[in-house]
Structure 1
Amino acid sequence: MEQSPMLNSEPSEQPEKIHLPRTSESETLQRIRHTTSHVMAMAVQKLFPKAQVTIGPWIENGFYYDFDQPEPFTEQDLKKIQKEMVKIIKRKLPVIREEVPREEAQRRIKELGESYKLEILADLEDPISIYHLGDEWWDLCAGPHVENTSEINPKAIELESVAGAYWRGDASNTQLQRIYGTAWENPEQLQEYKRRKQEALKRDHRKLGKELGLFIFSDPVGPGLPLWTPKGTVLRTLLKDFLTQEQLKRGYLPVETPHIGRVDLFKVSGHWQNYKEDMFPMMAEDEEAAAAEQGFVLKPMNCPFHIQIYKSELRSYRELPMRLAEFGTVYRYEQFPVG
């Protein structure tokens, strides 16, 4: 009797997993992404001569550049910019670093009429580092970069989106347009990144929260402030119970602390001196108390309170390390959250 071909067949090979290094893990990616951001800025200024550049660093999954541009960038504009970027890359332009005196850098910037670069220049230390793409475009930059645009694979880059960003992160300054992009060492990495991004979108908490009825948002309450529904609150409680048990297994002790504390507490911790601008305003009983900084503030971090718990009794070195855990709410008056 003939054996079934299925029994003779070799096990099908699993597709090889593609590793996507973070920018911080790969100096190669740092150079590729940093240079690609400059290529994008060069392309933007060629297509939109009125656009002024500001800053353009690499970030964990790509890069961005902020522009002061009179008209908003459209999806069609991004396609044109990317097409121009490919042309620039294929020209195999050398990427050359130059050090110049401050006065020379200032003279060149004034010739270009780039007001933002003048502000950036004021914060830089001598000598001033400039990077050129060929002999047509340059920017103030410390690097690192690739040596030639040919080191960038044009099939491994993609512009992703446009967002608003205030100059120097200050809402009182001009609102700029930030173009985000991604760049990889090869097309396979780019495709894997896009696949993972699509998978992540399916699991986006904003999408799932709405679809599952876990929380809602309300204009009278304010943007970004969720109102948890009964269903969502039950889910939160179950997750907190699970996490509490996991923390207890690992030696963490649960605590709870107030949402506000005296200003003096945060003077001791250093938050008041170094972080005051990113904290909500002090609440004081009267003008005299406010002038003397004798009031309360919403806590920006939990740790000053946890230190007070530690200090509440004599401790032995045998208790160390002491691990405290809290599902605490912290309040920060900032445009973007920090760690």
Structure 2
Amino acid sequence: MTRMRAGIVGTGGIAGSHARALSAYADQVELVAIAEIDPQRREKFGKEWSVPGRYPTLAAMLERERLDLVHLCTPPGVHATDAITALDAGATVICEKPPCLSLAEFDSILEAERRNPGHFVGIFQHRFGSAGQAARRLIRDGVLGRPLVAVCHTLWYRGDAYYQVEWRGRWDTEGGGPTMGHGIHQIDLLGYLLGDWTEISARAPRLARDVETEDVSLAHMTFANGAVASVVNSVLSPRQESYLRFDFELGTLEVSHLYGYSVDSWRFTPLPGSPAEEHPPWPPEGEDVPSSHRAQLGAVLASLRAGERPPATGASLRRTLEIVTGIYASAFTGRPVRRDELTADNPFYHQLNGGSGA
């Protein structure tokens, strides 16, 4: 089997997760090149992972290398430009969260995807743990009855030192605060499990950090299936937790973790006297695959080998950015926002702060 050729753009902390994932599939893909503007970081990363091709820019890398996969590990503000460049070079792009800074940028990426052979994949690894996959099957098959109530909390802590990095906490370079940069992982899993949404009411104040963006947000969501959810995103929470809870007609399914889960992170409570109590649908059978970059990359590689569209692309990926956009739009306008309002004539389609600069 011919191995795919991969390159990584940006060698900050998250790039190591991509390199480790690639090394787990060394029989299928080879990390042949990196692009990093800082020469010391470039050489250090290149030596650590034995990467032969080391370039100062994405353009230089693409000029010299034929790549099947380009992994974007750069700050969010350049994701859209770099993704379009890599797609136009014929590669599939695997992009760290957030995918880009706005729905307008995302639609530009989709347009580049349509005219090229590659795909734009967003890294949302929580979809790919075996427990998350099992939960999706249970919901899809109606085993737990209708979903009624959900909770989606990303309660993390980031002190003032975290925001000394120049691109963090700014609308023009990070796109938003914890809603965009932190809670988006749990938001993605919420949408992946419950499907499309219809309306959001939200607040996004700045309570403690000296930044442009919010440092906490709270939202109420209604889904197309009638379920309602509360969503909280925070960087002000000393006891950190990533927590999702789903209350169905026949029981409650919940997961608590920080940056990644296994089956043991989940708990199911059946409705007393229900079929789910007599025949518990949880825990799932089979191998316990933790949520991780490795799990997602395996799914992407399998799809590409089969000639299929990889998961976490297209409409399902756009939905995640739509939820984030809806939270900001409601917070800035002070009113509920419907999903069908987020069209090209809406200022929040173009910038998550609606262009207010506040």
Instruction: State whether TM-score is above 0.5.
Output: no
Give the structure with the higher percent strand.
Answer: 2
Give the structure with the higher percent helix.
Answer: 1
TM-score (norm 1): 0.22
TM-score (norm 2): 0.21
Which of the pair has the greater relative contact order for Cα pairs under 8 Å at 6+ separation? Answer: 2
